[in-house]
Amino acid sequence: MYSLSSQKKFWTFKTEQELTELRLKQNHNFITKHGAAMTEDQKLAHFLTADEERLLLKQYELQLKEFCKRFEPPMPKYVVGTAFHYFKRFYLNNSSMDYHPKEILATCVYLSCKVEEFNVSIAQFVANIKGDRVKAMDIILSNELLLMQELNYYLTIHNPIRPIEGFLIDIKTRCNMSNPDRLRPGIEDFIDKTFLTDAPLMYAPSQIALAAVLHAASKEQENLDSYVTESLFGAAKDKLPVLIEAVRRVRSMVRTIELPQKERVRFLEKKLEKCRNQENNPDSQIYKQRMKKMYEDEDDLDVMGSSYHMNVSDASLDVSQLNTTNPANMTID
């Protein structure tokens, strides 16, 4: 249940101001750490501002949407919704200058496929990615644990898909609307747009679902006001003002979406390449050296494990049994 979920407890925020402050904090922390020797003017010229980060992330949300739309085999809507939640949550705790959105984006979608049991192998997944697929596979697998850590391992997502189906069934039962299924195209379009807003971080799935249904109904010249006030909340009218305000705000957020201008995005992409954390850039020498050292450390662990097994074998112990229980003999992925 959403009301008892980690999503409501830890990842649902009361105001847009809370989200803005979290993003400002991550931007400030990154600039403070990596621009300590710079003047304020130098920092402004070199680093992305919080507003610039937000604009760039909006562009990558559009890319996430298109990637999922073109994905083969076709990706269910709830998998897409979960991926968007992961992406938005990650950048409440991190700056896009620390971890490039194009790399985190793919990892969010891949983790979403696994969590939502949309069974595709990593080979099938990267077949949907243009360019160097071996490199893409390495990046996704390297970032998977990081992503889960930044989500605090709260991976279960409650999407508005199920409440939408519930509303449509209820409308068929308790309303005299002809063919409620004709609302589906408008509902799906509305839900797609909510993923480009902060609504998933602020409102319950049922509130977003109802906003989508009411929006689609109004497009079809249908009025569901009496259904909401009498059928849904006839016995709980005290809760109606909160619901009405939530629906109004969600519809307003969708209505006022501003898409990034291409020229502006290109400028910010170039700026990001210059100011991003090179320790997390797979193309940088610093990153490659760090990964090389990590693999060398793994090799050292393997050698230590082999030596340990040789010693216990001399003591006439069951080596095969030790191989299955001794952590030193495990390979770190």
- pLDDT tens digits, 278-295: 999 988 888 778 777 766
Q: Are 26 and 95 contained in the same domain?
A: yes
- Which among 157, 192, 215 is the end of a domain? 157
Q: Are 57 and 168 contained in the same domain?
A: no
User: Tens digit of pLDDT for each residue in 11-25?
Assistant: 999 999 999 999 999
**Would 284 be classed as within a structural domain?**
no
Res 293: pLDDT: 73
Q: How far apart are CA 171 and CA 284, in angstroms?
A: 56
Q: Is pLDDT at 164 greater than 80 in this prediction?
A: yes
User: Stretch 139-159: mean pLDDT, rounded?
Assistant: 97
**Would 292 be classed as within a structural domain?**
no
User: Stretch 64-71: mean pLDDT, rounded?
Assistant: 97
**Would 202 be classed as within a structural domain?**
yes
Tokens linked to 114: 């696994």
Q: Are 187 and 227 contained in the same domain?
A: yes
Q: Identify the domain containing residue 93 by its residue range.
A: 2-157
- Which among 256, 277, 299 is the end of a domain? 256
Q: How far apart are CA 256 and CA 222, in angstroms?
A: 23
Q: Are 202 and 118 contained in the same domain?
A: no
User: Stretch 116-144: mean pLDDT, rounded?
Assistant: 95
Confidence of residue 315 (pLDDT cuts 50, 70, 90): very low
**Would 165 be classed as within a structural domain?**
yes
Q: Are 232 and 243 contained in the same domain?
A: yes
Q: Are 15 and 133 contained in the same domain?
A: yes
Res 274: pLDDT: 95
Q: Is pLDDT at 246 greater than 90 in this prediction?
A: yes
**Would 316 be classed as within a structural domain?**
no
Which residue's entry shows tokens 């644990």? 145
Q: How far apart are CA 85 and CA 156, in angstroms?
A: 10
Q: Are 97 and 171 contained in the same domain?
A: no
Q: How far apart are CA 254 and CA 257, in angstroms?
A: 6
User: Stretch 245-269: mean pLDDT, rounded?
Assistant: 96
Q: End-to-end CA distance of the chain, in Å? A: 34
- Which among 256, 290, 309 is the end of a domain? 256
Res 287: pLDDT: 77
Q: Are 16 and 146 contained in the same domain?
A: yes
**Would 178 be classed as within a structural domain?**
yes
Q: Is pLDDT at 297 greater than 70 in this prediction?
A: no
Percent of the chain with pLDDT over 70: 88
Res 45: pLDDT: 96
Tokens linked to 90: 């990650």
* Mean of the per-residue pLDDT values of the chain: 89
**Would 90 be classed as within a structural domain?**
yes
Q: Is pLDDT at 324 greater than 50 in this prediction?
A: no
Res 235: pLDDT: 73
**Count of domains for the chain:** 2
Res 321: pLDDT: 38
CATH of residue 175's domain is 1.10.472.10
Q: Are 13 and 149 contained in the same domain?
A: yes
Confidence of residue 298 (pLDDT cuts 50, 70, 90): low
Q: Are 52 and 115 contained in the same domain?
A: yes
Res 236: pLDDT: 77
Q: Are 192 and 243 contained in the same domain?
A: yes
**Would 328 be classed as within a structural domain?**
no
